[in-house]
Structure 1
Amino acid sequence: MRTVLAEDGTLLREGLAALLDRFGFPVVAAVGDAEALVAAVAEHAPGLVVTDIRMPPGFTDEGLRALVRLRRDHPDLPVVALSQYVAPSYASTLLDLGAGVGYLLKDRVGDVREFVAVLHRVAAGETVLDPEVVRTLLKRNPLAGLSGREREVLGLIAQGYSNAGIAESLVVSEGAVNKHVGNIFTKLGLAPGEDRNRRVLAALTYLRG
Structure 2
Amino acid sequence: MRLMIAEDSALLRAGLERLLADEGHHVTAAVADADALLAAVTADPPDVTVVDVRMPPTHTDEGLRAALHIRRTHPQVGVLVLSQHVEQRYAADLLAADTRGVGYLLKDRVARVEEFLTALQRIHDGDTVLDPEVVRRLLARTRHTDDLRHLTPREHVVLTLMAQGHTNTAIAHHLFVSKSAVEKHTNAVFDKLRLPRDDSTNRRVLAVLRFLGT
User: Deviation of residue 68 (structure 1)?
Assistant: 1.2
User: What is the identity, as a one-letter code, of the residue corresponding to 2:65?
Assistant: R
TM-superposed deviation, 1:193? 4.6
* Aligned-residue RMSD, C-alpha: 1.6
- Alignment of 1:64 with 2:67, yes or no, is no
Give a deviation string over 1:129-186, Cα, whole Å, max 9, x none. 1001011111221121211110110001000011111112122222211110111111
2:131 alignment counterpart: 130
Cα distance in 1 for partners of 2:197, 2:25 equals: 37
Structure 1 counterpart of 2:189:
184
Which residue does the alignment assign to 1:159?
Answer: 164
Distance 2:24 2:200 in 1: 30
Q: 1:150 to 1:62 in 2, by over 3 A?
A: same
Are the structure 2 counterparts of residues 110 and 43 from structure 1 closer, same or farther at C-alpha, using a change threshold of 3 Å? same
CA distance in structure 2 between the partners assigned to 1:118 and 1:107 by the alignment = 13
Divergent runs of 4+, >4 A = 193-196
Q: Are the counterparts in 2 of residues 68 and 97 from structure 1 also a CA contact under 8 Å?
A: no
Matched, 1:174 2:174: no
Post-superposition Cα deviations, 1:3-34, rounded to whole Å, max 9, x if no partner, equal 11100000100001111222243100000001
Q: Is the 8 A contact 2:2 2:27 kept in 1?
A: yes
Structure 1 residue matching 2:149: 3-state secondary structure: coil
Taking the aligned partners of 1:207 and 1:181, their CA distance within structure 2 comes to 16
- Specify every segment of 5 or more residues in structure 2 that has no aligned partner in the other structure, as ranges: none
Query: Structure 1 stretches of 5 or more lacking a match?
Result: none
Alpha-carbon displacement from aligned partner over 1:101-130 (angstroms, at most 9, x marks no partner): 000000111111111111111111111110
The 3 A distance-change label for structure 1 pair 149 and 196 is: farther
TM-score by length of 1: 0.95
Shift in alpha-carbon separation, 1:80–1:59, aligned structure 2, 3 A: same
Query: What is the CA distance between 1:190 and its match in structure 2?
Result: 1.9
In the TM superposition, what whole-angstrom CA distance separates every residue of 1:71-110 from its partner, at most 9, and x where no partner exists? 2111221100000111221111111231110000001111
Judging changes above 3 Å, is the alpha-carbon distance between structure 1 residues 23 and 207 closer, same or farther for their aligned structure 2 residues?
A: same
| Superposition TM-score, scaled by structure 2 size | 0.93
Matched residue of 2:82: which SS? Answer: strand
User: CA 1:147–1:207 in 2, change beyond 3 Å: closer, same or farther?
Assistant: same
Q: How many residues align?
A: 209
For the 8 Å contact 1:7–1:13, the answer to whether it is kept is yes
Letter in 1 for 2:126: G
Work out which of the residue numbers 120, 137, 147 in structure 1 matches 2:152: 147
Tell me the CA shift for residue 195 of structure 1.
Answer: 10
Instruction: For 2:120 and 2:199, locate their aligned partners in 1 and report how far apart those are by CA, in whole Å.
Output: 24
Distance 1:23 1:90, change over 3 A: same
User: Partner residue of 1:89?
Assistant: 89
Kindly indicate whether the alpha-carbon contact (under 8 Å) linking 1:50 and 1:80 is maintained by their aligned counterparts in 2. yes
Cα 1:154/1:195, change in 2 over 3 Å: farther
